[in-house]
Amino acid sequence: GQQVMQIPQYQHVQEGEDFTTYCNSSTTLSNIQWYKQRPGGHPVFLIQLVKSGEVKKQKRLTFQFGEAKKNSSLHITATQTTDVGTYFCAGGLYSGAGSYQLTFGKGTKLSVIP
Amino acid sequence: DGGITQSPKYLFRKEGQNVTLSCEQNLNHDAMYWYRQDPGQGLRLIYYSQIVNDFQKGDIAEGYSVSREKKESFPLTVTSAQKNPTAFYLCASSKEGQHEIPSGRNTEAFFGQGTRLTVV
């Protein structure tokens, strides 16, 4: 079945440093979504990328979708303590048979040292 | 306020007992999902439903059952056949269900607060 790999699993950074998490799919995706889960909380939608090569920005966060629509990245510039949490990518695949499935990566847990 | 509600937040059960986790949404969403989250495992799909009275198995459906009799409700039963049921369970919904367009528009997932199930 569809697999979505995400690396690294953990990342510890000093406040002010940059952070990047990478996502790779075994199949070409219809779209990719990114979620953030704060400690003790539930995942919250951040953004969706649909087009090949798409780049979107949200303040200090930059999201990219690869040309082949099989990989994606999330880059945070100058991390802050409020960025702490686990970041998940989720690959969306439309099978064309009336079925759409969202497969989550295992997440990257970000710790920010003040 | 529109949203997705899971109850209870914490649940303790004895080994061998079935237990049902509630998930209700008032977002008028067609699709609903159940995920299991274990440390270091991310979110694993148990079951999903794209329309009322229809549901499909996800990656780890064994030992679980669901029903979708109403659009608003998607309860999950953890049966005694589930070998390792202790986990954090997340329910989610999204606007579009069966009739997706390839771009996946309206497939943003809204999550409930989760139910932490402990089997002793």
**pLDDT tens-digit map of A59-103:** 999 999 999 999 999 999 999 999 999 999 999 887 766 677 788
pLDDT at A1: 67
Q: List residues of A whose CB lies inside 8 A of any B CB.
A: 1, 6, 9, 30-31, 33, 35, 41-45, 48, 50, 88, 90, 92, 94, 96, 98-107
CA distances from A64 to A57, B19, B74 (A): 9, 41, 34
CB atoms within 10 A of CB A74: 24
* A42–B48 C-beta distance less than 8 A: no
pLDDT at A97: 65
A53 vs B102, residue with greater confidence: A53
Helix or strand holding residue B3 (H, E): none
Per-residue pLDDT at B2 exceeds 90: no
Alpha-carbon span B4 to A92, nearest angstrom: 21
- Give the largest Cα separation in chain A, rounded: 49
Min Cα–Cα distance to chain A from B80, Å: 26
pLDDT at B98: 46
Q: Which of A5-9, B26-30, B62-66, B94-98 has the lowest mean pLDDT?
A: B94-98
Q: Letter for the amino acid at A57?
A: K
Residue A82 backbone phi and psi in degrees, to 5: -70, -10
**pLDDT tens-digit map of B12-52:** 999 989 999 999 999 999 999 999 999 877 899 999 998 89
Instruction: Name which of B50, B56, B107, B116 to mutate to probe chain A: the one with the most chain A Cβ atoms within 10 A of its Cβ.
Output: B107
Average pLDDT, chain A: 93
Q: For residues A113 and A102, is the Cβ–Cβ distance under 8 A?
A: no
Half-sphere exposure of A88 (CA within 13 A, CB side): 23
Question: What's the burial of A112, exposed, middle or buried (CB within 10 Å: 0-12/13-18/19+)?
Answer: buried
**pLDDT tens-digit map of B87-113:** 999 999 998 754 455 555 667 889 999
